[in-house]
Amino acid sequence: MPFYFLVCCFLCLFALRNKIIIIIHMKEFAKYIGVIVMLIGVAILVIPFMMGSTNNTNLIIGLLLVIEGMLGHIFVNNMKKGSKLSNIIWAIILLFIPYVLFLFFKKKAYSEEEIAAYN
């Protein structure tokens, strides 16, 4: 674990020294929130495996985050506006709190005009 921390510190110092600054706009970030959730799930699966302390709790949480991230990515990048029934179905599939978060990011990622162009 300290090795990964040192690598991250080294990369941050290298980026600061060479003035490499990456600016991510909210609109671009919001489009990939599902992928980010999936990567967090993969990290939760990989880190305990590398440390040799895998248990069922880590596996369940990691799997849930990977599945939620995949479904969330589909939901956020689905350009259809959707009816009340489809939103209720998505809320049931994604569980309620992740649905609200992904809906927030979908509204940040795409304007009403962009969504209307696909409907």
- Dihedral angle sign, alpha carbons of residues 32, 35, 41, 44: negative
60-115 tens-digit pLDDT: 999 999 999 998 888 888 877 778 888 888 888 888 888 888 888 888 888 888 88
pTM of the entire structure? 0.67
The domain locations on the chain are 25-118
The Cα 110–Cα 3 span in angstroms is 39
d(Cα 42, Cα 11) in Å, to the nearest integer? 21
The answer to whether 93 touches 71, Cβ cutoff 8 Å, is yes
Question: Smallest Cα–Cα separation from 100: which of 74, 75, 66?
Answer: 75
Tens of pLDDT, residues 25-69: 667 777 888 888 999 999 999 998 888 888 888 899 999 999 999
